[in-house]
Chains A and B, each alone.
Chain A
Amino acid sequence: MISWRSTWSIYTRELMRFLRTAFQSVLAPVLTTSLYFIVFGAAIGGRMPDLGGVDYGAFIIPGLLMLTLLGETTSNSSFGIYMPRFTGTIYELLSAPVGVAETLIGFVGAAMTKSLILATIILLTARLFVDYSIAHPLLAVFYIMLVAAAFSLFGFILGIWADNFEKLGIIPMLFLTPLTFLGGTFYSIDMLPKPWDTIALANPIVYLVSGLRWTFYGSGDVDIWISFSITLGFLAICVGVIAYIFKTGWRLRA
């Protein structure tokens, strides 16, 4: 049976860790988002046509949101579990009467919460630069939570897999960020010449950006159900990997 007190302890401690660097954690995405809007929204966006009837400045909001969401959830979650391993404090977690459920809900829940706070900040910052409305707000919130959960789990796996700081940063830096930039953050894949529009579909981030864009404006590069299915599939794979890690104790227990 799950111990909710244990779960709450892990969750609140992780949030406290976030609050210790709150100024930096909040300021960085506000500044980055503002810069993107200044460069892509005002400077370049003014010369871009509407995309699917959506102003270019508004068009890039879901992409920018996804860019921050994927990076922050992955790094928050991976650091959350990697640091106790690195410093040795994980002994306390491993010797406590807590299992996979408490650990995941605590760590992943905290990473999701941080990401949702950042998503709200980004949307509020975006409002300062462009006018936008969300076609399916509840679905948008649900989808953001789904992506945050999936990538928090992914980050958790990364934090257990990594045995040094270089490995911890290599996946987000070399794979996640480039794939997000190439995943339709600043453009629709319809704008790509052939065969790149088809090749782009091999990039899983395309489905995430497209899915979130659909919840905002009612249209995307791919069908919303494909986006949902891929996100859920990725989440299921991550849960399976983590279940295996806890069952075998891989990189957790000697």
Chain B
Amino acid sequence: MDPILELSGLSKVYPGGLKALDDVDLTIRKGEIFALLGPNGAGKTTLIGAVCGLVRPSSGTIRAFGHDMARDWRGARSRIGLVPQELSTDMFEPVHRAVSYSRGLFGLAPDKARIEEILRSLSLWDKRDERIMALSGGMKRRVLIAKALAHEPDLLFLDEPTAGVDVELRKGMWAIIDEMRSRGVTIILTTHYIEEAEMMADRVGIINRGRLLMVDEKDAMMARLGRTEAHITLAEPRSSLPPQIARFPVELEESGTSLRYRGGDGTGKGKTEVADLTKALIAAGIDYTGIDTRESSLEDIFVTFLGEEGGAA
């Protein structure tokens, strides 16, 4: 697919010496949803700020839509939208005026029909004449999305779009993001909710201490790093396992009353192997009273990965 954004050797050192971005290379493809995961202070917002013009990179290059952002920033910025993490907007303004302002600021002619379409798609049309300060937190976040969409961007940054919103609103926000994707908007989102990345993203990047540690297709990442875990409760405690059981990645736990399996690759191989294990247990005359299996989530992968990274550092 065509690259829509290319970061090369991007670094940012703040006055005081904090290295927020450390030689980041990243290519974003047209039409994808890219989730940038990382703990607090990892460099996610700095990366977004560098692309959107809020942060001055210390070194490296940013190319968006073929434009070098250092030189031809106007052409590139006009196609980029940003929904910030904070609810930052003029709270005294009515909704429709705030959104219309954003469109004008990006140099586009007024278009009432387009503004109406955006407000309707975000369920804000009924609130169009209300001051933003009178809206709920979830509605305010939708206003920020409407403002970012007002100039019809091809690339949209969503910085923690569901931070602080309840489960229902979060799901509503996912539907909105899905709708934007279906309209061809490329989306880069940062999030603390790994579940969000798991649900939405095509590709995932893990960033920590300013370094981009891993970028991969979400499914490939799950396949490569995902695991199946099964706990089999044995009818009788055992002190050892026969060879036909020991060939599986298993170990006895809880004084021999439980058998733990950990294996597979996140593609379903683990489930098949657990089924084979249960057959082998019966064949070996080892009775069991319960089985509990679970697939590791992206969150497990993320936590394990950052843990290993922390250990290596």
A residues lining the B interface (CB < 8 Å): 3, 5-6, 8-10, 13, 16-17, 20, 87-89, 91-99, 249, 253-254
Contact = CB atoms under 8 A, between A and B. Distances in A.
Interface in B94-137: 97, 101-102, 104-109
A92 B105 contact: yes
Nearest to B73: A97
B271 interface: no
B101 A9 contact: yes
A42 B57 CA distance: 62
A95 B80 CA distance: 8
A96 B102 CA distance: 9
26 contacts: A5-B104, A5-B108, A6-B106, A6-B107, A8-B104, A9-B101, A13-B101, A88-B88, A89-B89, A91-B52, A91-B82, A92-B82, A92-B102, A93-B105, A94-B52, A94-B54, A95-B53, A95-B54, A95-B77, A95-B80, A95-B82, A96-B77, A97-B75, A97-B77, A98-B105, A254-B14
B54 A91 contact: yes
Interface of B: 14, 46, 49, 52-56, 73-75, 77-78, 80, 82, 84, 86, 88-90, 92-93, 97, 101-102, 104-109, 147
Contact of A254 (B54, B73, B106): B54
Given A88-B86, A88-B88, A89-B88, A94 B104 contact: no
A88 B86 CA distance: 8
B80 A3 contact: no
B84 A91 contact: yes
**Chain A interface helix/strand/loop/mixed:** helix
A89 B93 CA distance: 12
A10 B53 contact: no
A95 B56 contact: no
Given A91-B54, A254-B14, A254-B55, A96 B106 contact: yes
Contacts of A254: 14, 46, 49, 54-56
A85 B159 CA distance: 19
Which among A3, A17, A88, A95 has the highest number of chain B CB atoms within 10 Å?
Answer: A95
Contact of A3 (B14, B54, B93, B107): B107
B74 A97 contact: yes
B289 to A, nearest CB: 58
Contacts of B73: 97
B204 to A, nearest CB: 24
A249 B101 contact: no
A3 B151 CA distance: 14
Closest 7 interchain pairs by CB?
A9-B104, A88-B88, A3-B107, A95-B52, A97-B74, A97-B77, A97-B78
A20 to B, nearest CB: 6
A207 to B, nearest CB: 38
Contact of A5 (B54, B90, B93, B109): B109
Nearest to B107: A3
Given A9-B101, A254-B46, 20 more contacts: A3-B74, A3-B107, A5-B104, A5-B108, A6-B104, A6-B105, A8-B104, A10-B105, A89-B90, A92-B89, A92-B105, A92-B147, A94-B52, A97-B74, A249-B56, A253-B53, A253-B54, A253-B56, A254-B14, A254-B49
Given A254-B49, A254-B55, A97 B107 contact: yes
Contacts of A5: 104, 107-109
Contact of B92 (A20, A91, A96): A20
A165 to B, nearest CB: 18
Contacts of B107: 3, 5-6, 97-98
A91 B77 CA distance: 13
A180 to B, nearest CB: 31
A87 B105 contact: no
Contacts of B101: 9, 13
A97 B69 CA distance: 11
A95 B78 CA distance: 9
Nearest to B14: A254
Contacts of A95: 52-54, 77, 80, 82
Contacts of B86: 88
B52 to A, nearest CB: 4
Contacts of A94: 52-54
A23 B246 CA distance: 85
Contacts of A99: 74
A9 B46 CA distance: 28
Contacts of B105: 6, 9-10, 92-93, 96, 98
A20 B97 CA distance: 13
Contacts of A249: 56
A96 B52 CA distance: 8
B304 to A, nearest CB: 32
A92 B148 CA distance: 9
